[in-house]
Amino acid sequence: MSTRPELNAIATYLTPQDVLLNVDVSDKTGLFNAIGRHLHDEHGVQQHVIAQGLARREQAMPTGIGEGLAIPHARIEGLARIHVIYARLTAPMPFGARDGKPVSDILALLVPSPGTDEHLRLLADATRMFSDSKFRARLRVSNDPDEVFQLFSAWTESPSTEFERTGE
């Protein structure tokens, strides 16, 4: 009897249809509107509620984490379930990252309000995932939504991830 490892939190909520490649926007407002439009078209969620929630959170504190990555996230009133969206931009944009680098890879996390511990688990998994330089490299060369989805689904934290994060 084989045991399958537990999926990371991101893989639990991300679907291939929520992998958006070549998103052509020039600023955060355009990005948040594109994410809201996608959620409206695919899941019937109100576009403006998503865009406003992400913008409000981003105004409170930028979600660019460095290395060209951002994890915008928000608790959304009336959202029925958690949604995870991966978006790759056609051109990097400023995102307030600590390293000053523009962002091209975005993982948006949207959770129902009031939030639960699952919100924190999602953020923790996303941060660990993006701390893995091998994962980032594979992500950036994946040009098919199913391939990107499989990459997120297959990710498990390895000892080398901890080493890369701490620099030891």
Indicate the domain borders of the chain.
9-166
Provide the 10 A C-beta neighbour count for residue 115.
15
Q: What is the value of pTM for the model shown?
A: 0.86
Q: Cα-atom radius of gyration of the chain, to the nearest Å?
A: 15
Residues 6+ apart with CB under 8 A from 40: 46, 47, 50
Instruction: Quick: pLDDT tens for 111-164.
Output: 998 767 777 888 888 989 999 999 999 999 999 999 999 999 998 865 444 434
The correct CATH number of 9-166 out of 3.40.50.1240, 3.40.930.10, 3.40.50.300, 3.90.1150.170 is 3.40.930.10
Instruction: Quick: pLDDT tens for 56-112.
Output: 999 998 899 999 999 999 999 888 899 999 999 999 999 989 899 999 999 999 999
What is residue 48's predicted lDDT score, i.e. its pLDDT? Answer: 92
Instruction: Quick: pLDDT tens for 16-52.
Output: 999 999 999 999 999 999 999 999 999 998 999 999 9
